Amino acid sequence: MTSFDIMVMSAELQKLIGSYVEKIYQPQTNRLHFRFNIPGSGKENLIVNLGKWIHLDPAAEPPGKTLSYGMFLRKYLINGKVIRIQQRKFDRIVEFTIDRRSEFQLVLEMFGKGNVILIKDGMILQPLHSKSWSGRELRAHKEYGFPPERTDAPRLSQEEVLSIITSSEKDLVRALAVDVNLGGVYAEELCYRTGMDKNVPAKDLEKEVADSLLAAFAALLDEISHPTPTVVFDENVPADVLPIGLRKYEGLRQEERETFSEAISEYLEGQPKEIKDERVAKLERRRKQQEEALQKHKEKAVESHEIANFMYTHYELMDGAIQTLRSEESPSGVELLSRDPKRKAAVIRLEGREIEVHFEEDLNANAQRYYVREKTAKSKIRSLGSRIEETERELELADKRKEKEVEKREPTKGLWVDRFRWFLSSEEFLVLGGRDAKSNEKVVKKHLEPGDRYIHADMSGAPSIVVKKGSEAGEDTLREACQFALSFSKAWSKGLASGSAYWVNPEQVSKRAESGEYLPRGGFMIRGRRNYVHKLPLEVAVGEISYEGARKIVCGPPEAVKRHSESVFIFAPGRENPNKVAKDLSEHYNVPIEEVLRILPPGGLERTSPA
């Protein structure tokens, strides 16, 4: 959509002011479906295809699924009241202001590949796609800034338009499209209406030509301010959709519609469906052929079994027919359909059933032939079943490869703390933990300093945990660090509900074993009194935080993560596959699945709640 399209659509969207957000769906990453309840008017659907289209469609059916960002928006916006909708100056941005106890801004950026950003008090709660530029950053907990302003074409005076054109180094059509910010469609339309060569240098315009261009510019703005939504047809196929009719399409059929949304819906419905990936299409054809063959063999197995049984049920009649055929006479009691002397076989019909018999063999041998056919068909059924399963696996892999090609998620910025397990406590203290025996050694030898605290779960196989500046920390931080140590111990994979951990001072931790004892790599000797914390729940939370100026996805004690993140998911030990959990979290936070897997506890999970 052009900036003019957005301007006309924003005017249509004013009917949603005063409505309430009833439903939010996200069937695909870049597609959103909002359902509004308009008091006194009923329901209305807003369809947003980021980077492409935004329009109202009262007949749109609710999608069958909602991805994680749609769930995130529901948390803040469901039952919220729409109090303002506006285009951001003359840019391809639509801003919704929604009141739900607090005011939220939902910004739809329709340029490029598109984006959605939810904002409260000027701060980003979560963008759909986190991105950074030299002068702009779209990250959670960052202040939202609009992109650099472009020329506001509808508000320019004729003198300003003339000044911009004549000072441009571009040709006329590019000066109108880029410098005046009309976009390519309307820049070419102005050249078409005035009969001007679009490739002439803009700065060389003569006064008479400039006056004609400015008059056409004013007329164009007046038409768009009173839109006549138009669908352009090329041989009965919708070729374009516009807020007004354009003269460049004078040779084609142009039909007006009541609203721009109606015109867009009609245009989109008339477009060819997306062409599937050729490999996926080939696999689907193969699967269809295999399933058809499978059905034929199933039918053949059933038929062969029934014929063999039928022959024994009519033993005397069938046996007599076979003997008669052997003597080259016509059998009685059955209908002879065909005879093949070379194969010594014939096809007869009895009670409506066609049966092939080999008349040099007795009835038992003929029946056995059909039992063999049944056995062969069943063998092919098993073989085809395995091949169909293999095709299904290939289709699944092809779909996954396509997903990865469509959306390659960028990892968050790597930091030194990523070598360890880590989180920020609710009191802002950094907590580090080992991932394995090697990093257990490193976290203690390199990072345990005077004034820190050492934490360990009350069981073997737990990580060594260091609370930096722990002597200044309160009970909340020490308890969170103990819960962290327990959650990443073997207690998680055992499915325990709670347990204990302890903390000590740095001088109580030693690598030197007692006489006659042995310390494995990553193990340490604790001397002196241990400060135990009991009844710790095995529970972790995943959330997005900002640390050292970078956006990071962390896993830690729920109270600590909730303190620093707006969007949090809480887990306990369970049976849910970590890969499935990581995939969902990867979509929600828009990071690679490997980055999420790296921070999760070792074992199955159970979602207790999004916090």
The answer, yes or no, to whether residue 139 has pLDDT greater than 70, is yes
The predicted pLDDT at position 273 comes to 54
d(CA 38, CA 21): 9
| pLDDT grade for 575, boundaries at 50, 70 and 90 | confident
Share of the chain above pLDDT 70, in %: 94
d(CA 130, CA 137): 8
Describe the crossing of helices 315-326 and 278-313 by its angle, rounded to 10 degrees. Answer: 90
> How crowded is the C-beta side of 130, counted as CA atoms within 13 Å?
28
The answer, yes or no, to whether residue 611 has pLDDT greater than 60, is no
The predicted pLDDT at position 481 comes to 97
The answer, yes or no, to whether residue 541 has pLDDT greater than 90, is yes
The pLDDT tens digits of the residues spanning 279-331 come to: 777 788 888 888 999 999 999 999 999 999 999 999 999 999 999 998 888 88
The pLDDT tens digits of the residues spanning 502-522 come to: 999 999 998 776 655 656 666
Q: In the block, which residue shows the tokens 């005011």?
A: 103
* Residue range(s) of every CATH 2.30.310.10 domain in the chain: 3-138
Strands 430-433, 465-467: parallel, antiparallel or unpaired by DSSP? Answer: antiparallel
The answer, yes or no, to whether residue 29 has pLDDT greater than 90, is no
> Which has the closest alpha carbon to 199: 167, 216, 180, 176?
176
| pLDDT grade for 275, boundaries at 50, 70 and 90 | very low
d(CA 245, CA 248): 9
Share of the chain above pLDDT 90, in %: 54
The answer, yes or no, to whether residue 186 has pLDDT greater than 80, is yes
d(CA 255, CA 263): 9
The predicted pLDDT at position 134 comes to 79
Lowest mean pLDDT among 46-55, 192-201, 256-265: 192-201
Cα dihedral 570, 572, 575, 580 sign: positive
Token representation of residue 522: 């990553």
Mean pLDDT taken over the chain? 89
- End-to-end CA distance of the chain, in Å? 37
Contact 232, 27 (CB under 8 A): no
Homologous superfamily in CATH for domain 3-138 = ibrinogen binding protein from staphylococcus aureus domain (2.30.310.10)
d(CA 458, CA 502): 7
The pLDDT tens digits of the residues spanning 364-400 come to: 999 999 999 999 999 999 989 888 988 888 888 776 6
Into which CATH architecture does domain 153-226 fall? Orthogonal Bundle (1.10)
How would you label 157-174 residue by residue, b for 16+ Cβ within 10 Å and e otherwise? eeeebbebbeebeebbbb
Count of beta carbons in the 10 Å neighbourhood of residue 601:
21
Strands 605-610, 453-457: parallel, antiparallel or unpaired by DSSP? Answer: unpaired
d(CA 220, CA 154): 10
**What is the pLDDT averaged over residues 88-109?**
94
**Helix, strand or coil for residue 76?**
helix
E strand or H helix at 25 = strand 20-28
The predicted pLDDT at position 406 comes to 44
d(CA 108, CA 462): 46
**What is the pLDDT averaged over residues 442-466?**
92
Contact 251, 284 (CB under 8 A): no
The predicted pLDDT at position 132 comes to 81
In terms of C-beta distances under 8 Å and separation of at least 24 residues, what long-range contacts does 41-46 make, across chains too? Answer: 41/15, 44/15, 44/16, 44/19, 46/13, 46/16
Contact 511, 446 (CB under 8 A): no
The predicted pLDDT at position 419 comes to 92
* Residue range(s) of every CATH 1.10.8.50 domain in the chain: 153-226
pTM: 0.50
